[in-house]
Amino acid sequence: MFFVSVFIFKLESQILFINSGAEMYFGSTSSVGILDTLINRGAIRFAGSYGADFNMKGNYWANQNAGILSGKAIVKFNGSNTQFINTNSPTGFFPSIEINNGNNLHLTGTDTDVQDSVNFVSGKIILNKNDLNLGNGSNGVITGYDENKYFVTNALPTDTTKGSLKRDAIGASTVVFPIGTSISSYTPASMLNNGTADNYRMRVFDSAYKNATNGNPQVLNSVNKTWHILEATAGGTNAILKLQHQNSTEGSSFTAGKSMHFNTYFVGTTNNTAGDTFSKTLWANYKPSSTNTGSHTASGTITTGTAISGATTTTNDNMTNVGFWSKSFFSANLTPLPVELISFQIRRNDHLSAKLEWTTASEKENKGFQIQKSRDAIHFTDWKWVNGAGTTASTTSYLEIDYDCSYGHNYYRLLQIDMEGSSKTLPIRSIFFKSEEAQPDVIAYPTSFERYIHLDLINLTTPAQIEIIDFSGKRIRKHKILDSSATSIDLDLENILTGNYLLNVISGEYSKTIKLQKK
């Protein structure tokens, strides 16, 4: 056993290993900077009280095998490129973490445990089908969250066991879940539990489906978000539940009936005795006069910043059911949906071009879709018209490519127009293109591959060297790009073994490490 208390001034294009059996100690006055990848197979031990300044500027933190984290320190993820955590719970408890990275922090591989606190300075923590477990027997503390800084629970609706923010021991004090479905959609919740204190997990995903995770999406008659809430011990919940949504996620019928809206949960059996909820049968149905309707606040109050305009917070005073929650409104005479939208997504097609894809489950007298574009998600202009399928009970898919995108955020929305000229606004989607005037960067995709990976080379000013390294530190491949004006390259990695690797790119003073997985 040995004691190490160091400040790493610069560690570029190298992997820092803490081998099995090795232990590194950092006192409460230590000032530490990790400038590249950190792989911990041994133990990192902090002092018994907070005070150490531990800056993780590298791209990748891996806690492997029985790698241990103990003691008290705030690990600050403040790199300039996208950063990744891969830990092996429960030996890999971070004491506290702070994110100050506009390119975000991703969890990969396994869940991440944080003992005491998470502080947002800039950027988001993207869960990627992994849980972030905060508290270890207490609520823990989350600070700095707002519409630009939160946890992204981006798992699929059917991924019901993973991809959540978990907070422990929720009782008679309000506990916030600052979560959203994407980097542009903040849809948080909060709970105050007057029942039996319990550990709760929460995530949110796009759309509100008739069968909770599948079936026809109820686009027009609901808020197009579903909050999934789970408790560790069944029963005993009696909570004040607040759900907050962006007004842009409302269906047009919901907006028209918004004064009579309420939080509702998935029942799974017919529960339609007076009027209708959005699913008509399988979601709990309340009259507007019911105590379950709760109260509405015409702004986003679940934030540590100023109240968020263009958002609505809805409260339940007697939440006793966990599971799937969304928002609906009371109406005794709902009309059939002119279009039932299954999905609408924007994907990168090439440099400054985007692929728009959407699918409908059915259409009724649908003349078509007016696609609109915006740079600020507020002021939209018409971009392209797409003919609809008229009336059909079959699935219909649409695809359009925009070859004229701009650097920064590009927002899109669909206006569905029927044969009589009436229009309905469907959800907003966005895509981001980084400016060539920005700092050098390399983007690799797909990072989980079978043979090929593609690299976008952004603003590299000198010839680049590319290395593929396994987790033992052995260099598997080496490539050189002599033309510094090259903007992309495809790598054929068919002959390397299945497993996890690190891709190192070095161009002058610039370096980046990216985690890869060969299937």
Q: Hey, CA dihedral for 467, 468, 473, 476, is it positive or negative?
A: negative
For the chain, the distance separating the N- and C-terminal CA atoms, rounded to the nearest angstrom, is: 38
Q: Are 162 and 230 in contact (CB under 8 A)?
A: no
Phi, psi of 446, rounded to the nearest 5 degrees: -75, 145
* DSSP string computed for 5-38: --------S-EEEE-TT-EEEE-TT-EEEE-SEE
What is the CB neighbour count within 10 angstroms for residue 381? 8
Phi, psi of 259, rounded to the nearest 5 degrees: -65, -15
In this prediction, residue 94 has a pLDDT band, given cuts at 50, 70 and 90, of very high
CA 226 – CA 326 distance, rounded (Å): 5
CA 418 – CA 387 distance, rounded (Å): 11
C-alpha closest to that of 318 among 288, 292, 290:
292
Phi, psi of 255, rounded to the nearest 5 degrees: -60, -40
Task: Supply the Cα-derived Rg of the chain in whole angstroms.
Answer: 25
Mean pLDDT for 394-423 is 87
Out of 124-133, 204-213, 300-309, least confident range: 204-213
Amino acid, single-letter form, for residue 500: N
Q: What is the DSSP letter of 111?
A: -
Q: Which two tokens stand for residue 93?
A: 């408890």
Out of 117-126, 218-227, 365-374, least confident range: 218-227
C-alpha closest to that of 44 among 102, 94, 85, 106:
94
Q: Hey, CA dihedral for 231, 237, 239, 244, is it positive or negative?
A: positive
**Domain limits, CATH 2.60.40.3080, in the chain:** 441-518
CA 466 – CA 93 distance, rounded (Å): 33
Q: Are 251 and 327 in contact (CB under 8 A)?
A: no
**Domain limits, CATH 2.60.40.10, in the chain:** 339-433
In this prediction, residue 171 has a pLDDT band, given cuts at 50, 70 and 90, of very high
pLDDT at 220 over 80: no
Out of 11-20, 102-111, 311-320, least confident range: 11-20
Out of 226-235, 302-311, 446-455, least confident range: 446-455
In this prediction, residue 23 has a pLDDT band, given cuts at 50, 70 and 90, of confident
CA 353 – CA 442 distance, rounded (Å): 18
Amino acid, single-letter form, for residue 100: N
C-alpha closest to that of 160 among 121, 239, 213, 116:
213
Phi, psi of 219, rounded to the nearest 5 degrees: -70, -45
pLDDT at 180 over 70: yes
Q: Are 436 and 461 in contact (CB under 8 A)?
A: no
Q: Give 422-439 pLDDT, tens digit per residue.
A: 788 887 888 877 765 556
When the candidates are 1.20.1260.10, 1.10.10.10, 2.60.40.10, 3.30.420.40, the CATH number that belongs to 339-433 is 2.60.40.10
CA 447 – CA 456 distance, rounded (Å): 13
CA 246 – CA 313 distance, rounded (Å): 9
Does the domain spanning 441-518 belong to CATH 2.60.40.3080?
A: yes
CA 82 – CA 103 distance, rounded (Å): 5
Q: What is the DSSP letter of 249?
A: G
C-alpha closest to that of 212 among 249, 265, 163:
265
CA 245 – CA 313 distance, rounded (Å): 7
CA 412 – CA 123 distance, rounded (Å): 23
* Burial group, residue 85, by CB count within 10 angstroms (0-12, 13-18, 19+): buried
Q: Which two tokens stand for residue 498?
A: 């299945």
Q: What is the DSSP letter of 103?
A: T
Q: Give 245-302 pLDDT, tens digit per residue.
A: 999 999 888 888 888 788 888 987 755 555 555 545 578 766 555 544 567 889 999 9
CA 497 – CA 449 distance, rounded (Å): 12
CB crowding 184-217: b at 16 or more within 10 Å, else e: bbbbbbbbbbebebbbbbbbbbbbbbbebbeebb
CA 74 – CA 98 distance, rounded (Å): 7
Residues 6+ apart with CB under 8 A from 405: 352, 353, 354, 431, 433
Whether the pTM exceeds 0.85: the reply is no
* Burial group, residue 291, by CB count within 10 angstroms (0-12, 13-18, 19+): exposed
Phi, psi of 514, rounded to the nearest 5 degrees: -125, 135
Amino acid, single-letter form, for residue 51: G
